[in-house]
Chains A and B, each alone.
Chain A
Amino acid sequence: MNPEIGHYALVLSLAVAILMTVIPIWGARSGDEALMRVGSTLALVLAGFVSLAFAALVSAYVQSDFSVLNVVENSHSAKPLLYRITGTWGNHEGSMLLWVLVLAVFGALVALFGTNLPARLKANVLGVQGSIAVAFLLFILLTSNPFTRVVPPPAEGNDLNPILQDIGLAIHPPLLYLGYVGFSITFAFAVAALIEGRIDAAWARWVRPWALAAWGFLTLGIAMGSYWAYYELGWGGWWFWDPVENASLMPWFAGTALIHSAVVMEKRDALKVWTVLLAILAFSLSLLGTFLVRSGVLTSVHAFATDPSRGVFILGILIFFIGGSLALYALRAPTLRQGGIFAPVSREGALVLNNLLLTAAAAAVLVGTLYPLALEAFNGEKITVGPPYFNLTVGALMLPVVFAMPFGPLLAWKRGDLAGAAQRMMAAFGLAIVAGALALWAQGGGPLLAPFGMGLAVFVVIGAAVEIVERAGFGRLPAATAFARLRGLPRSAFGGALAHAGIGVCLFGIIAETSWNAERITGVKVGGSFEVGGYELTLDRLEPRNGPNYRDLVGVFSVRKGGVDAGTIESAKRLFTARNMPTTEAGIRTIGFSQLYVSVGDELPGGAVGVRAYWKPFVTLIWIGALIMALGGVLSLSDRRLRVGAPKPAKKPKARPGPDADPAAPVPAE
């Protein structure tokens, strides 16, 4: 395809996005339905044009069209087809185009499936989406145009940064962007509500699934990025508190708070103003993430290119959208009607606690990420806020969240019974203590962090199961009835429990890996052996191999445990010839949920080769847990039923003293 078609499509997208910003909002203000309808067709056409532009860029990459500067700078004809395609978004310009593509497609989805939305709400939402598209299209066209051409075309490109030549890159950024940009929809709904000064009943019905979808993608994207860094960078770390990781974690915290408060809003018509604020915050933090990655203000693995004019432009976008939406919020929020009232000890109360702590965690990460920048601007002092800060603050704030998590779903709406919920948690609590004791025995005494953390993780997982068992009524109703009720439970209930269990699984992996991992750094000659985590590794041979655009020096290790053969591990030092850049290809062997991780380093004097080996117990649970969380999100998302939270009746029920009944209802009726 001619790249100029893509270029023109991109320019045309800008024109369409401008119209999409102006016309529907004008229509909504003047009550003109025809104008409001224009928003939908424009959203569809915008998605079409941006897709066309993206397809043109992908085609230039696939065909190695070196008359396009972006292809020259980031591709190489010897690169495998898959990496030629993924290279499209493995650079600044292409990834911004992907960002806008996701935005436009989401806008089109609202236009297509929003037939049951009130016309005004829909028009305003599309208008806000259009304005975001205008800002980013201008940014792309004026500062980061992927369609800039070169005359004469060189015969070969510069190749993509080798650490980005990986299947992880094919998946990680698109997932992350689906998450970031997904929050643009909830943001658009929030701003639309503020523009109109009213929150429709349909509002929460729409915000909850979008928030869930964005949250699910973001969860997967973060987990994917973590695993990618784990195996690709060769240091065996899975989380570095790198500014860009933080940039994805902040919207995740805000988004997690949002999906919970949206539930309160949908079911109980409460926490409206707060939900609107969270929707604004989640997207603002996503934009901030984009800013941190793209502007290069922070030192990071992900800082592709640093260009001050880009930074200023993105800062402008940031100030306009974050400042504008918060100003609108300050102006309009007081006019929004407050919803239902609830007791501090209730499902709503538990969710408020969850929201507060999650937001505080997002704020703590924000402070830690931006503090070095602020300090440097203030007195020129350069500092680093490292893992200890984040571990301490986020850990301390998440501890109560995780501990309270199993209790929340057991509390009734409006007013709950904490003692009753605690009683029903006794089984989970007992199992947790057993697990902690087992962990203590397994590590043979020593620090209490691991036993405590593992006990907590088990408590969370069992607690999630208890929730389902309780809601079905096992143990207090006849088994047949309970099974019937189990089948009748909404899928969102299973989804929530699954996501909570995923947190527990992830926590278990984190605690086990950090407390029990074993590391061995040593020099080893061919034929030599060393021991790590109870496994004996022997370097059988070092052999050179050639790939399409790289050369490997592969170290082949055989693994034995207690004298028994346990397979082999291959780890390589890889040299990418186009850029003359070496990378380490870690060798990983998964044993149960644990992994043996080996990376070879430089050759040392005396013929030995440096080797770094780790034993990482239960490390895969970290990512499996994240997958379970996302799966819970999908399950909940598939539940398209209307949801109303049935509050506990004020009067003491006469019929049946079920678990939901509260014999000592301490709170009087409204």
Chain B
Amino acid sequence: MAPAEIREAIIEILEDIAPDEDLSTLEDPKAFRDQLELDSMDFLDIVMELRKRYRVQVPEEDYGHLNSMASTVEYLTPKMEDIAV
């Protein structure tokens, strides 16, 4: 998957986790927390959904990389580049 496709995958996950959020205005460099009503349970869900959908493991010490869309995509790119779309 290319970065743009990874971004799309994250958007799909967020749509499932937080269906009441408007994701069209999401600014990639800004922290999710400052734009969306996400708590620690929701962040766990992002990690769990990545595991479920793409078999990507995000160890707990790396959760900080999931701070914003930009940092998430950057962190996931090497982990997901071999995954077919």
- Are chains A and B native binding partners rather than an unrelated pairing? no
What is the interface of chain B, defined by CB distance below 8 A to chain A?
none
